[in-house]
Amino acid sequence: MRFVKNKVNTTPIEDNVFAVVKLAKAAKEKYGEDQVIDATIGSLYNENGTIVAMDSVFTPYKQIKNETMAAYAASFTGNESFRNQVYQWVIQPGGCTLAHSVIATPGGTGAVNMTIESVLDEGETLVLPDIAWGSYQLMAGMLNLKTVTYDLFEDDHFNLTSFKETCQKVMDQQQKLLVVINDPCHNPTGYSLTIDEWEEIVQFFNACGKQGPVILLNDIAYIDYAYDLDHCHDYMQTFNQFSDHVMAVVAFSCSKTLTSYGLRCGAAIILGQNAEDVRNMEIVFEKTARATWSNIPNGAMENFVYVTTQNLDHYLKEKQSYIDLLKQRSDVFLTEAKACQLDCYPYKEGFFITLAIPDNAKRDRFHQALIDHQIYTIKVNHGIRVGICSLSLKKCPGLAKRMKDILDTI
C-alpha cells in the first residue's frame, strides 16, 4: 500500500557523500590520521581537523537574551533589521539599484526552494548547470518539475553557447525561464564568472525576455569567501540593465558566511525594474514562507545584524584568516596539478576544486582507485570533488601527483 502521495519519487536519497565520509572515518581509525587523505567534508575545517565555528559569531550569539531567542520573529518575511542589513551586505556594495525586497529563509536552501516553488508550475522545466550542487535536482523532483542542464564549461571558461541554447529551447517551449547560476565560487568547481560574462548573460536575458518572463536564480552561497571581497559584488551592477521582463532572486546563506550551518538562516532577495513585480513576488514568497516554515529563528537573524555591524572588524579579520587558508591550500594543490597535468575545472576561489573527468564510468573507477589508496573524495557529474575547505594544508603537498599517478593506471 502506498501511504504517501502518488506523484512523488520514493527512491531513497542516494547519499554519496555520507557513505564516503564514513569510509574515510573508518580508514583514519584503522591506519591513523596521517595515512589518510580525507577531502570529503564540505564545511570549513581548521588545520586541527575540526569544524570552524568563528569566535566573532558564536561569542555574541551566546550573549543574546533568552527572551530574544524564545520569541517569534517580527514577521513571516523576517525582522526589519535583518532584511535591511542583508540588503546592505549583499546588494548595496555591487551598486545594483533595482527595486527590491528581502525575505528571510532557513539557509540558502530555503531561498532556492522557495524561488523554484513560487516561480514554476508543476511539469515546467528548470534550467541548471550540468555540474552542480545536488539539491537543485532533488528540489525539482519534489516539486514535479523537469530539469535541463547547460554545459558549464567550454575549455577554461563559462560555456555561453550552451547556456544560451539551453535557455532558448526552454523559452521556446514554455514561454518562461527560470535558470540557476551558482556564482561566485561555484560549488563544486570554484569558478566565478567575469563581469564580461555577466554582461553577455544579461543582454541574452533581455533578448529572451521578449518571449516571456525570465527569472535568474543567483545562488551566492559562498560569496563571502571570494578572494577579492572588495569587488566580488560588482557583477550585480549588470542587473541594472534588466528589461521589464527580467527579474533576479539572489539566494544568500548565513551558513557559510557566518560558519553557522546549523542555525538555519539565509535570505531570498528579489530584484526587478518594477516595484509592482517585486511586490507580487514578495506576496507569493511570504505565503510560501508562512505555509512552510512560518518564521526564521529570531536569535540567528539578530546575530547576523550584530556580527556584520557592531562586530564587523573582529568578524572580517577572523573570516579573512580562513580565506587566506583556502588560498594557501588551493595554491599548493593547483600548482602541483598543473605541473603534473592533472586536469581540473577552472578554479578561481571557494571551498572546492573539481578534477575534470568527463567520462562518468572512468570517474567511478578512478574514485574507487583513490579509495584503495586511502584518498577520499566526492563524485560529482563529470568530476571528482576535492574539498579544500576541510583538507589541512599539510596534506596538500604531493596530493595532485599521487592522484595523477593513480589516474594514469585507470
Ligand X SMILES: Cc1ncc(COP(=O)(O)O)c(C=O)c1O
Site of interaction with ligand X (CB under 6 A): 107-109, 133, 182, 187, 219, 221, 253, 255, 261, 266
Shortest Å, Cβ 310 to ligand X: 23
Chain centroid to Cα 293, Å, comes to: 21
In one letter, which amino acid is 349? E
Shortest Å, Cβ 261 to ligand X: 5
Shortest Å, Cβ 351 to ligand X: 8
Contact assessment for residue 289 and residue 105, using Cβ atoms and an 8 Å cutoff: yes
For residue 111, give the nearest of 311, 255, 320 by alpha carbon: 255
Shortest Å, Cβ 137 to ligand X: 12
Nearer to ligand X, 108 or 184 (CB): 108
Sign of CA dihedral 173, 174, 177, 179: negative
Shortest Å, Cβ 134 to ligand X: 9
Nearer to ligand X, 27 or 265 (CB): 265
Shortest Å, Cβ 257 to ligand X: 9
Q: Are strands 214-219 and 246-253 parallel, antiparallel or unpaired?
A: parallel
Shortest Å, Cβ 221 to ligand X: 4
| Alpha-carbon gap, residue 111 to 397, rounded angstroms | 38
Backbone angles phi, psi at 359, to 5 degrees: -85, 115
Shortest Å, Cβ 110 to ligand X: 7
Nearer to ligand X, 90 or 342 (CB): 90
Phi-psi region of 405 (alpha: psi -120 to 50; beta: other; left: phi over 0): alpha
Cβ-closest position to ligand X? 107
For residue 175, give the nearest of 217, 129, 137, 125 by alpha carbon: 125
Nearer to ligand X, 107 or 209 (CB): 107
Nearer to ligand X, 258 or 281 (CB): 258
Nearer to ligand X, 184 or 272 (CB): 184
- Whose cell is 524561488? That residue is 115
Nearer to ligand X, 207 or 322 (CB): 322
Nearer to ligand X, 21 or 410 (CB): 21
Contact assessment for residue 64 and residue 303, using Cβ atoms and an 8 Å cutoff: yes
